[in-house]
Amino acid sequence: MAEPVLAVSGLRKSFGALAATDGVDLALRDGEILALIGPNGAGKSTLIAQIAGTLAPDAGRVTLAGRDLAGMSVAARARAGLGRTFQVSSLAMPLSARANVRIAVQARAPRRFGVLRPVARDAALNAPAEAALARVGLGPARWALPVASLSHGERRRVELAAALAARPRLLLLDEPMAGLGADGTAAMADLLEALRAEVPILLVEHDMSAVFRLADRIAVLVAGRIIATGAPDAIRADAAVQQAYLGVDA
Amino acid sequence: MREGVVSAALLGALLAFGLGAWALGEVFFVNLAARVACVALAGAGLNLALGFGGMVSFGHAAFFGLGGYAAGIAATHAFDGGAFAGVLPGTTSMPVVWLAAMLAAGLAALPIGLISLRTQGVYFIMITLAFAQMIFYFAISFPAYGGEDGLPIYLRSELPLVDASDPLDFFLVSFALLVAVLLGCRTVLAARFGAALALARLNPVRLATAGIAPLPVLLAAFVASAMIAGLAGALFAELNGFVSPAMLSWHRSGEIMVIVILGGVGRLAGPVAGAMLFVALETVIGGWTQYWQGWLGLILLGVVLFARGGLIGALAGPVRHG
Amino acid sequence: MSALLLEQLLNGVQLGLSLFLMAAGLTLVFGVMGLINLAHGALYMTGAFVCAWTGALTGSFWVGLGAGVLAAAAAGAVIELLVIRRLYDRDHLDQVLATFALILIFSEAARAVFGAAPLWLDVPPALAGSVALPGGAAYPVYRLAIIAAGLAVAAGLYLLIQRTRLGMRIRAGEADREMVGALGVDIATLYTVIFALGAGLAGLAGAMIGPLQSVQVGMGEPVLILAFVVIVIGGIGSIRGALFGAVLVGLVDTLGRVFLPAAFALVLEPSAAAGMGAALASMLIYVMMAAILAVRPQGLFPADA
Ligand SMILES: Nc1ncnc2c1ncn2[C@@H]1O[C@H](COP(=O)(O)OP(=O)(O)OP(=O)(O)O)[C@@H](O)[C@H]1O
Ligand SMILES: [Mg+2]
């Protein structure tokens, strides 16, 4: 089997007495969508944050395509190929959708800190940014609007476009469907389905219909530990998982 | 586009004021126009950090004053034949003085920015203030360059074709530098560096997630901002023929900040508007009453509480982003 | 040497406790209301002027002291009602500018009311004279009284915050503004009271300093900046940090000014040593603050930890 794109091993992070991540191992391969599910507070976002570099783990290793990410900043990891969206959208609200995506293109451009040519008329930045926005289904009429005036669903798309515009090796998506409603969730699922062949995805999601539709494999995180990993059907049948989700419809 | 028109009109008005005063033989008002240009330049420096980088520095008088001392020390050694730190001789060449002022401010800003940017919010405000106080007290108690009494500038610096001791020449030089710096800032801010700086101010998490570490961007803007303030300080010292620790005081930091706020934070020509208003208030109210600073306080309070956005905000509407 | 050391240690503690009186109000207001108040030095100046003026008028330092504290607290309550409460929801930049404006207004008002000439105040007869320190040096009783007053205020604040209903509300207010509101506490009044309390302490510090130095316009500003250094070192919002930071700053500043020039004299020629020593001594606390923040960006006792 080919080397995993993302390999997490023995990852551990405590907040005081609380072990938010308690020895997590994960592997993600090309062409794959791995869903990470678990009850509220299980440690999913904490795990994503450690992979992305926002939180430093207490112990453990994260590698991206074989490269150890230890000691690398968030920005360096992003340039190494990690694309990320947040559970709560994190965009520059007064700036346009295009500007929010353009910066991700700029981060990989040969002259990242040019001081002469205006970005507004820089086709090398704008063309890929606009392509990414079109890709996530945001029409040209919305590109120049400040993100603050876009709807919640549109902002989620802008975030995804920003991650895509960077041509990532791997996408870390923290609850991309949250708050989208039925139509929005279906559209987002279509979009992710189309991305599967292009980039592997670690998908944190509470919407179980979307998870079972998209995931090749599912990992179940409870209280900082992975209690089960496997194909959707096996997870559906797993006794421990049913225990953990007792009362939660799955 | 409207902001561009307002900016050009403000600069045009300043130029017309200086030239008009000269045509009428009013040397006092020519010098006043030069003062506006110097103060506006200092404000333009701070605006780069505060307005465009979101770094609320309460210590820019340090850079302003260091620029002033660079000019003062250069002139002193040109006069007495000595050398700074035993190696750097004095000079009266204007470009060299400017360069020295910018270097002095920039070299100080590098470690100050590096340490200060580790902190945030009030801590950033306070640590920049503390660094400025450090330099202020050093200047007061270190005797070699005048200590508390300051340093007179006996030799005006020179430029081919320009006589700095002529008020009109000096105003025109200051004005030209102001315009050049503003145009330079406009270009850089519209370019990739500016795009990164805007993200660093608005949402550093987004910038880092996109793949650009915010700290170096902020630090570069902080140092550039200090260098502009240093240049302004050199001009200001030369205009007054004198440099003293007062140029480094925290009151001065507050005044530079006030100029930026009165004009409009993060607006390119904000400091020009702010400097015109500030110097006008100082001159007009100062002519009526010795308590002019109290009135300035009332006006400032009114602007902060009720008229956010400053003069440029009132004239050109809110900021528009691309 | 040891007599000198003891004397300077006491001077350092006295400076530190004066600073604590200033810093306590600043840090309380920041911790509870999230406000950075540059005008705190103006309240110190108010206390000093009213004390000196009333003291001269009535011939009693004690009447002056009471009047100074009350005037500062009243001035604090008035500016809180008129200006400060509009600033709680603003960013720190607006707070800095508005309270900077208040400094300008207070300074000019003081100049207009009390004149530009400095006022002087005598040490009250009950606290005149000096006591002999172990080692033989004489130490002024008045400075010891300032130390005692500072310690009393520190103890009082501790009891107030830990043991009283007001203190409970202050602690709750630091933890969660909305929750206090939900508990039915009148937040607006609570804030006015806290601000006036801090102002009164600043006024006390100002009033007590009158017999040691001249009372003049602008006297609040150096103290204000030192108090900021104190609360930043201690961790903004922490009273304990303010006390620790204040004594640290007082000691380092005082001892630095005495011993740094002497230390430089060991390695440099006398005139250069005096110059360098004095220059570095005056920078010392700022160097210390920068060093502390470089290592601990939230100060030594972060309030939310
Ligand atoms: N910075 C922090 N300090 C202290 N505790 C934290 C911190 N961040 C997260 N936690 C705790 O760690 C645990 C895991 O949180 P995390 O946000 O990773 O959960 P999650 O699985 O993403 O939950 P959700 O589905 O609600 O998003 C929670 O108990 C949370 O309270
Ligand atoms: Mg989460």
| ipTM of the complex in this document | 0.92
Binding site membership of A45 for ligand 1 (Cβ less than 6 Å)? yes
B162 membership: H or E segment, kind and range: strand B162-163
Q: What angle do CA B71, B76, B78 make, to 5 degrees?
A: 95
* Domain contains B47: yes
CB of A85 within 6 A of ligand 1: the answer is no
DSSP SS3 for B157: coil
Q: Which of B110, B141, B249 to mutate to test the interface with C (most CBs of C within 10 A)?
A: B141
Q: What is the pLDDT of residue C305?
A: 40
Dist CA B14 CA B19 (whole Å): 9
> Residues C67, C73, C78, C83: what is their CA dihedral angle, to the nearest 10 degrees?
140
The proportion of chain C whose per-residue pLDDT surpasses 70, expressed as a percent, equals 94
Confidence of residue A250 (pLDDT cuts 50, 70, 90): very low
Pocket test for ligand 1, best of A46, A48, A54 (most atoms within 8 A of CB): A46
Q: Characterise B146 by phi-psi region: left (phi > 0), alpha (psi -120 to 50), beta (else).
A: left
Using the structure block, give the residue that is written with the tokens 């940017």. Answer: B117
A44 Cβ inside 6 Å of ligand 1:
yes
Q: Identify the structural domains of chain A with CATH numbers, from first to last.
A: 1-81+173-250 (3.40.50.300), 91-167 (no CATH)
Cβ contacts of B64 within 8 Å, gap of 6 or more = B42, B45, B105, B229, B230, B232, B233, B236, B247, B248, B252, B256
- For C16-56, write each residue's pLDDT tens digit: 999 999 999 898 888 888 888 999 999 999 999 999 999 88
Query: Which chain B residues have a beta carbon less than 8 Å from that of C289?
Result: 127, 130
Q: For chain C, what percentages of helix, strand and coil (3-state, to nearest 5) are there?
A: 75, 5, 20
d(CA C14, CA B45): 41
Q: Which of A24, A37, A44, A55 to mutate to test the pocket of ligand 1 (most atoms within 8 A of CB)?
A: A44
Ligand 1 pocket member A82 (CB < 6 A) = no
Where b means 16+ CB within 10 Å and e means fewer, B128-148 reads bbbbbbbbbbbbbbbbeebbe
Query: How many Å apart are CA A196 and CA C190, to the nearest integer?
Result: 57
What range defines the domain where residue B226 resides? 2-316
The shortest CB-CB distance from B209 to any of A84, A114, A125 is to A84
The answer to whether A59 and A82 are in contact (CB under 8 A) is no
CA distances from C206 to C39, C54, C142 (A): 13, 14, 14
Give the residue among B144, B246, B132 at the shortest CA–CA distance from C276.
B144
Rounded distance between C-alpha atoms, residue B40 and residue A53, angstroms: 42
Please, which residues have CB within 8 angstroms of residue A234's CB and are 6 or more apart in sequence?
Answer: none
pLDDT above 70: residue B286: yes
The Cβ of residue B9 has, within 10 Å, a number of other Cβ atoms equal to 12
A113–B193 C-beta distance less than 8 A: yes
pLDDT band at B315 (very low <50, low <70, confident <90, very high): confident
Does B321 fall in a domain? Answer: no
Residue B298 tokens, joined:
């009332």
Query: Which positions in chain A touch B210 (Cβ < 8 Å)?
Result: 75, 78, 103-104, 106-107, 162, 166
Tell me which chain A residues have a C-beta less than 8 angstroms from the C-beta of B192: 106, 109, 111-115, 117, 119, 122, 125
Which residue from B142, B251, B291 is facing C112, i.e. has the nearest CB?
A: B291
Q: How far is the CA of B92 from the centre of ligand 2 (A)?
A: 64
Q: Are strands A33-37 and A201-204 parallel, antiparallel or unpaired?
A: parallel
Beta-strand relationship, B151-152 and B158-159: unpaired
* Residue that the structure tokens 């009158």 belong to: C210
Kindly state whether residue B312 falls inside one of the protein's structural domains.
yes
Residue A26 phi/psi, 5-degree rounding, is -150, 150
Could you tell me which residues come within 8 angstroms of residue A149 by beta carbon, excluding any fewer than 6 positions away? none
Q: What is the pTM of this model?
A: 0.92
For residues C124 and C62, the answer to whether their CB atoms sit within 8 Å is yes
| C83 pLDDT tier (thresholds 50, 70, 90) | very high
For B55-82, write each residue's pLDDT tens digit: 999 999 999 999 999 999 988 887 787 7
Kindly report the nearest CA distance between residue B80 and chain C, in angstroms.
Answer: 20
The pLDDT of residue B153 is: 86
What are the distances in angstroms from CA C12 to CA B54, B259, C5, C203, C231?
38, 38, 10, 21, 17
Tokens of B104: 């002095």
- Does B137 touch chain C if contact means CB atoms closer than 8 Å? yes
Residue A1 has pLDDT above 70, yes or no: no
Ligand 1: residue whose CA is nearest its atom 1? A15
| Alpha-carbon dihedral angle through residues B98, B104, B109, B115, given to the nearest 10 degrees | 170
Each residue of C186-201: pLDDT tens digit?
778 888 988 999 999 9
**Per-residue pLDDT tens over the stretch C142-153:** 888 999 999 999
CB of A50 within 6 A of ligand 1: the answer is no
Token pair of A232, please?
């959707």
Name the region of B228 (left: φ>0; alpha: ψ -120 to 50; beta: rest): alpha
The answer to which of A18-22, B115-119, C124-128 has the lowest mean pLDDT is: C124-128
Q: Does B280 touch chain C (CB under 8 A)?
A: no
Decide if A108 touches B, using CB distance below 8 A.
yes
Q: CA-to-CA distance for A153 and A144, rounded, in angstroms?
A: 17
- pLDDT category of residue A240 using cuts at 50, 70 and 90: confident
Distance B198 CA to ligand 2 centre (A): 28
How many distinct structural domains can be found in chain B? Answer: 1
**Which of A74, A109, A118 faces B209 most closely, judged by CB atoms?**
A74
Contact B86, B228 (CB under 8 A): no
Q: Is A46 in the pocket of ligand 1 (CB under 6 A)?
A: yes
- Residues of chain B with Cβ-Cβ distance to A95 below 8 Å are 198-199, 202, 321
β-strands A170-174, A201-204: how paired? parallel
Segments in B117-161 forming alpha helices (H): 121-141
In a domain, B177, yes or no: yes
φ and ψ at A221, to 5 degrees? Answer: -105, 125
* Inter-chain CB pairs, A–B, below 8 Å: 110
Q: Between the CA of residue B305 and those of B316, C83, C189, what are the distances in Å?
A: 20, 8, 21
Domain of residue B294, CATH code? 1.10.3470
Neighbour count for residue B25 (Cβ, 10 Å) = 8
Token code pair at residue A84? 């990320």
Residues of C in contact with B307 (CB under 8 A): none
Quick one: angle between helices C40-58 and C92-114, nearest 10?
Answer: 20
- Residues B51, B198: Cα–Cα separation, whole Å: 10
Interface test with B, best of A79, A93, A113 (most B CBs within 10 A): A113
Q: How sure is the predictor about A142, in pLDDT bands with cuts at 50, 70 and 90?
A: very high
Q: Is A15 in the pocket of ligand 1 (CB under 6 A)?
A: yes
**Helix, strand, or coil (residue B249):** coil
- Do at least 3 CB pairs under 8 Å connect C with A? no
Alpha carbons B302 and B298: distance in angstroms, whole number: 6
Tell me the pLDDT band of A234, cut-offs 50, 70 and 90. confident
Q: Which residue of C has its CA nearest to B130?
A: C286
Q: Does domain C9-121+138-295 have CATH number 1.10.3470?
A: yes
